[in-house]
Amino acid sequence: MAGTGGKFKVRCPACGVANLIPADREGETGKCGGCHGALPPLYLHPVPLTDRSFDSFVAHYPGPVLAEFWAPW
Ligand SMILES: [Zn+2]
């Protein structure tokens, strides 16, 4: 992941085609080049979530999610 000009593969959950997504489109949804179905957004950086946003984000993201939990106490 060098610089900001790279492209990253996002696999279509419907047809399995790997789509190349530019790094500057992070967080945006797109369309699959194979079946024109919705592609999950590319995330290159961790997305901070709160107890208000966690359920909605995780429930609507169609791919696997890696979560790290921490608390200030
Ligand atoms: Zn597809």
Tell me the per-residue pLDDT of 40-57, one tens digit each, with 9 for 90 and over.
899 989 999 999 999 999
Res. 28 pLDDT band, cuts 50 70 90: very high
Task: Indicate the SS3 state at residue 1.
Answer: coil
In this predicted structure, the answer to whether residue 37 has a pLDDT above a threshold of 90 is yes
Mean pLDDT for the stretch of residues 26-47: 92
Distance CA 24, CA 29 (A): 12
Closest CA to 25 of 46, 10, 13, 15: 10
Q: What spacing in Å lies between the alpha carbon of 50 and ligand 1's midpoint?
A: 31
Q: What is the pTM of this model?
A: 0.69
Q: What spacing in Å lies between the alpha carbon of 55 and ligand 1's midpoint?
A: 26
Query: Tokens at residue 48, please?
Result: 């901070």
Q: What spacing in Å lies between the alpha carbon of 29 and ligand 1's midpoint?
A: 13
Give the domain ranges of the chain: 7-60
Range 32-39, long-range pairs (CB < 8 A, 24+ positions)? 37/12, 37/13, 39/10, 39/12
pLDDT, position 3:
52
